Chains A and B, each alone.
Chain A
Amino acid sequence: MTRSLRALAALAALLSLSVVRVYGQESVFRANGPDDFREGVHAFINATLYKDYKTKIDSGILLIREGKVVDAGRGVSIPVGAIVHDMKGRFIYPSFVDIYTDYGLPATPKVHTANEDDGGIQYTSNVKGAYGWNQAIRSEYEAQKNFAVNESAANDLRKLGFGAVLTHRKDGVARGTGAVVTLNNEKENKVVVKGNASAHYSFSKGTSTQEYPSSLMGTIALLRQSYLDAQWYKAYGYKTEYNLSMEAWNNEQNLPQIFDAGNWLKELRADKIAKEFGVQYILKGDGTEYRRISELKDTKAKFIIPLSFPKAYDVEDPYKALWVELAEMKHWELAPTNAAALSHAGIDFAITSADLEKKEDFLKNLRTAIKYGLSEENALKAVTLSPAQFLNVQDQIGSLDKGKLANFIVTSKPLFDEKAVINENWIQGKRYEIAKFDPKDIRGEYSLAIKSAKESYNYPSLKVQGEQAAPKGLITQDTNKIEVKLTIKDNDLTISFDPDKNKPGKFLLTGVLQSDKSWKGKAQLPDGEWADWTAAFVHALPDTTHPPKADTVDLTKLSKVLYPFDGYGNEEVPKAENVLIKNATVWTNEKEGVLKNADVVIRSGKISAVGSGLACADCKVIDAAGKHVTSGIIDEHNHIAISEGVNEGAESASSEVRIGDVVTSEDLNMYRQLSGGVTAAQLLHGSANPIGGQSALVKFRWGYAPEKLKIQGADGFIKFALGENVKQTNWGEKFTIRYPQTRMGVEQTYVNYFTKAREYEKALQARKPVRRDLQLEALVEIMNKKRFITCHSYVQSEINMLMHVADSFGFKVNTFTHILEGYKVADKMKAHGANASTFSDWWAYKYEVIDAIPYNANILNRIGINTAINSDDAEMARRLNQEAAKTVKYGGTSEEDAWKMVTLNPAKMLHLDSHMGSLKVGKDADVVIWSDNPLSIYAQVEKTYVDGICFYDKEADAQKREYIKRERARLTQKMLDDKKAGSPTQDPAKKTNKAYSCGGNNE
């Protein structure tokens, strides 16, 4: 392009801008007095200019006008009259964008309207108006309608480098829409960039005082049901009701969907909901993503991550340090690697200032993330362009391309330099000063001369050295050295010094910079006389300041991520082995019975042979002489590995909730139970209500992600409950309102729900416009024998009742669990075809168990009912072999039958016996090697295999303890170093030992 052409283009650009200006400035607001419109044409020259996160321009020019970028680059022509800012030695970057704030929005007060008579429980929404049924669904809320500029909050964010934010109200499960706004202190009409920019969701019900949902799985069910309700509303529902929440929900679906999930487990859970309904969430996490990068990458989601790094624990007292788990120590070390881990995996993410304990740590922590492996380019992208792109506002913010908002920061040094300071943050062309620029660099050697009417003083060597912002002076005169105090501000310099140690009195000088780098001014002498002074620049001096010590992190020396993230986890998820176990006593659970001196071959995750004298060329051989080999224990009733609530007990039915939605892979109890030979379990909902939630059938694949714990192709199960828990008998005196309060009411609850479910199914079959109802669908599945009941039960009357209800609706009760009075109705249970899963010897803990007897399992078994012994207890689950043995003690059950009660029988009642529960060729290699007869109290587990993978090994366990000891020691020392270096610490705190049982009174 020739010079003239370029000028023409610039002119054209100006013309077109001026058109925009006229349009843009047209305002509905009337001025009080003459209009004060300013063009705001600024040119920033000589800067190191980052036009966007990856385009660095040395000596670049940024030209802005009317709050927007006119041009940015090297050859930008500066129009006449532009205000020119010399940015030599300075750096310009696009201002940051924070995608996760509630800037400028009012706080929501929590208004509890629960009736005391209801035990303080509010069962229905207390929001007035044509809104949805659940108070936590607030999709009608629009940030844009509630947003007001808040200068003090804006200032806090501007100081960190932010120029624009997405703001939404962080309240509720569905939170409505967010707005993109700048942090300019102007009328909101100018500040709002995009009104409805995003739709928001979370797992937290926030200020909702409505009881439902009371658990994480309930929240997930509420979200799923809301999607279905909205679909129905769009198709038919709008004809029958007006619902602001559903209207809004549907209108928001085409916006970017942002889900505040929390930890990586919850991010996967949120994504699962998204996939079910054809949505893609942008997932807001908590900084633990590094623990499961590959699963998170598979979601194809974009992420929003905070930079909240935990403080080191104060571990000076080794006894207090006991409360700090190795996992927490590791997190302290690894949290700063999170952003790098996402980046290396190629995951697109934005970084937010949310969740920081101290907001002012934002930039510091971002630099830390860089030290821990994040590239500067990707760091900048994550705070500029990425959030803008996530919100589809990259045409306005996130970089300094032509036409975008003039949102940029000016820094003293490269942004990620430890010492860099943000001096200015320009937003929509308006300058906000964050920190003063360094004063002019006056360092060098000067020749100072002071001359009054009476005398003259000459100091040929005045050296000005030190930090640019705070230089110090030193006069050398023969052997004398005189310290000189200097203060510089803009072009003003004041100097004072003591010319003669032996005489009191200072010389006070004030002067102004001259064009030749010299200074000139007036001085006042100790006797009050005025004098003239000059300081002539002689030459520059070598820089004596020490560059900061390079503070780098040796990434190879950091903790390894463990799967799961626990001291007892593994660096690599273990793999299946081919194993020949020789010379053992083998409990087949098949017609062969117990084989002496026999072998078992495990191949490709299955049992490939059982017999004597077996050979296997590619197998690892284990000589198990004197040892016993069995199939893995299956716990029919277990509540471990469940996140955030085992009961959704707000209402009398909760068949819509699924334990499968909240299974966690991180529960140490899984490993502890593997050490007791348990390989699989039914994870059950609690017993707070007659119709509970859906179960998850899992294998204890320690280290695998939650979805991989689930047994593929397993039938669906659901928890029901009878008796005192569902009647709320032992909940406290206030709990006398929720229906049912008697066993009579429990029956009617079932009849009512199954009747509704039957009508629902008929309506569906008749292709009537029916709102899909997840609660009733689960009940329809039961009636259609596609879902099976495990019912918490104690006394004979209620057991009898449920069988009658089931018969009348044409299905069978699959399993009665606990079933402590099963022995009283064993004949009826047998006739009905129910299974029984009971405790070995529990009783007397509440009224309904006063007739419980430890002979129960024996009688049930003898009568021909498929009977199991379960745990319902994280501790007892690892001794189920002992509990089974009690059936030998009480009633003289045969040892083989006793053993089946914790293996084959539960497999049968969970419909898993085709591939689990016995040592039979072709079945899953869920195998345990015991040191002794497994029913003996002296038996210890030596190895536990699940699908041919060794997940527990007694010797490896000892190595794990060594590893924990070493790693704890290393990290303890590192934390102490951190403390010594002055970093803040936190006190070790005792942890909650989360162990769920059915709820109430230890069962």
Chain B
Amino acid sequence: MIKNIKLCSALVMVSLLVSFAAIAQEDVPVPAPKQSERLCLKGGTVHIGNGQVIENAYVQFENGKVTAVMPAGTFKTDETMGRIIDVSGKQVYPGLIAPNTVLGLTEIEAVRATNDMYETGSVNPDVRAIISYNTDSRVTPTVRSNGILYAQIVPQGGRVSGTSSVVQLDAWNWEDAAVKADEGLFISWPNMYHMKGWWAEPDGYELNKDYDKNVQELKDLFNDAKSYAYAPHEKTNLRFESMKKLFTDRANLYIRVDYVKEILQAITFGEEMGVNVVIMGGADSYMIADVLAAKKIPVILGKTHELPTYSDEDIQQPYKTAAILQKAGVLYAISENGFWQQRNLMFEAGTAASYGMTKEQALSAITLNPARILKLDDKIGTIEAGKAASFIISDGDLLDMRTSNISLAFIDGRQIDLDNKQKELYKKFSAKYFGK
């Protein structure tokens, strides 16, 4: 009897979900079809992504790839150019790349059923973010319409969270979305300090007495995985299978770490293990920018819009950190938190631009630099011949909310629909009140 009731309610749930999903479909625009004709953007100010700016330029693209980027006057103005899209007076940027996000892995943060990024257990190198990636998330179009065209989606939680992938944000399914599947592994470096109390009533921190043990466990894991990668073995270990890429293909090992002492230890760990380390977070990275530059360790910085870690720190330190890495010659990217928040990625870069670097450098920090860190710079990250025709057209300065309005966007030459659920609701209620 009880079983039956449960079954009944389960059926109701399923049918609810089905009908819910049916409505939800309407909120997500249809993915754009393949580029079918040669196109050419004309007259825009093109920000290449590598620091270079070309005024009044032509960007020609075909079959999803950029074929030419030229200043006006150096380009033939005949029918061989393809269909002209006039973007005079507008700004053209490469599609933005959002590293380290759970976009598509969750829909509503507080609703457990929608969360698909925390696997149980603490060592899960084998779980793959791409499997959870929901191309029909209603959040994604709100991010995309602000110019973010690529995302690195990342499993969360535990010591070894799992394997990340890079996706493009206009797709029918995850296979379709994948730009670089299973490209890296995310781990969280052990904390030297433990928080006491709980989130609502924090009670300070204490030294983590198990810190050395936690680090040793990580070393043991990686040593075992490395041995597995090279030594013959009879039994298959899924975890180690997934870690092979770190050693044999030099895939990225992203280490979430902020405290300077921990960063230094994470770097040494990477050297000992012979893996490519990328520092993720890196709040204190500015203190050791010279070390990071010398050792060529890339950094994906956490949000710019953060409070300082230390009370005595420069009150604007997080705004200034990127510029310090820039000056020191560190390869770094700027990132945003969470999922829906990714639509503010360019403003994280904008603030950094205000505190010690040029706008073009800040732009690189969300285009070319993440592409280089993700080892995709041969494909995306700049507007250059041979690369993907993925760019965005803004009415004005992309990095400043006063003027940042995306009117057009292309992924692989496909002109994508910039509509989203929020715009629909805006239209619906504007019509109710204002009749349009």
Contacts and interface: CB of A to CB of B under 8 A. Distances in A.
A50 interface: no
Interface in B108-123: 108-111
A377 to B, nearest CB: 39
A563 interface: no
B311 A327 contact: yes
B305 interface: yes
A991 B195 CA distance: 9
A936 B400 contact: yes
A1001 B425 contact: no
Contacts of B425: 823, 851, 853, 855
Interface in A284-314: none
Contact of A938 (B195, B207, B311, B400): B400
A555 interface: no
Contacts of B201: 645
Given A322-B310, A827-B433, A854 B340 contact: no
B111 A846 contact: yes
Interface in A900-947: 933, 935-940
A455 B405 CA distance: 117
Q: Which 8 A-B pairs have the closest CB atoms?
A: A990-B205, A846-B110, A937-B350, A992-B202, A990-B193, A855-B426, A853-B422, A844-B340
A675 interface: yes
Contact of B202 (A320, A846, A852, A994): A994
A847 B430 contact: no
Q: A-side binding surface: helix, strand, loop or mixed? A: loop
Contact of A961 (B108, B314, B351): B314
Given A568-B315, A995-B307, 8 more contacts: A668-B311, A826-B433, A841-B343, A875-B305, A875-B307, A885-B402, A889-B401, A937-B400
A323 interface: yes
A964 interface: yes
| B108, B193, B197, B351 — most chain A CB neighbours (10 Å) | B108
B206 interface: yes
Nearest to B314: A961
B317 to A, nearest CB: 10
A888 interface: yes
B426 to A, nearest CB: 4
Contact of A886 (B195, B205, B339, B401): B401
B312 interface: yes
Interface in B315-372: 315-316, 339-340, 343-344, 347, 350-351, 353-354
Interface string A832-866: 00000000010111110011111100010011000
A826 B307 CA distance: 34
A968 interface: yes
A994 B200 CA distance: 9
B110 A991 contact: no
Given A320-B261, A987-B207, A937 B307 contact: no
19 contacts: A327-B311, A567-B311, A730-B110, A841-B344, A843-B340, A844-B107, A847-B108, A852-B422, A854-B422, A855-B422, A855-B423, A862-B434, A937-B350, A937-B402, A938-B353, A990-B193, A993-B307, A1000-B110, A1001-B110
A672 B399 contact: no
Contacts of B340: 843-845
B116 to A, nearest CB: 14
B401 A885 contact: yes
Given A675-B316, A935-B402, A937-B351, A990 B433 contact: no
A886 B430 CA distance: 18
Contacts of A847: 108, 110-111
Contacts of A891: 426
A395 B303 CA distance: 67
A862 B422 contact: no
Given A823-B429, A847-B108, A875-B305, A992 B204 contact: yes
A846 B108 contact: yes
Interface string A685-701: 00000000000000000
B405 A323 contact: no
A824 interface: yes
B347 A859 contact: no
Nearest to A858: B426
A203 to B, nearest CB: 15
A638 interface: no
Given A885-B401, A886-B401, A937-B401, A845 B312 contact: no
A320 B422 CA distance: 46
A323 B262 CA distance: 14
Given A847-B108, A937-B400, A987-B207, A874 B314 contact: no
B139 interface: yes
Contacts of A645: 201
Interface string A785-828: 00000000000000000000000000000000000000110110
A319 interface: yes
Contact of B305 (A851, A879, A885, A895): A879
B133 to A, nearest CB: 16
A420 interface: no
Contacts of A852: 422
Contacts of B306: 875
A310 B347 CA distance: 44
Nearest to A730: B110
B307 A672 contact: yes
Contacts of A895: 402
B273 to A, nearest CB: 23
A845 B344 contact: no
Contacts of A323: 193, 310
Interface in B50-107: 107
Contacts of A968: 312
Nearest to A881: B401
A876 interface: yes
A322 B425 CA distance: 48
Given A853-B422, A938-B353, A989 B311 contact: no
Highest count of chain B CB atoms <10 Å: which of A724, A827, A847, A874: A847
B307 A874 contact: yes
Given A325-B312, A566-B311, A992-B203, A936 B426 contact: no
Contacts of B35: none
Contacts of B195: 992
A957 interface: yes
A852 B343 CA distance: 15
A859 B430 contact: yes
B151 to A, nearest CB: 15
B188 interface: no
Contacts of B351: 879, 882, 937
Interface in A3-62: none
B260 A319 contact: yes
Contacts of A850: 108, 138
A964 B312 contact: yes
A992 B206 CA distance: 10
Residue of B351, B402, B422, B426 with most partner-chain A CB within 10 A: B402
Given A323-B310, A325-B312, A326-B312, A999 B339 contact: no
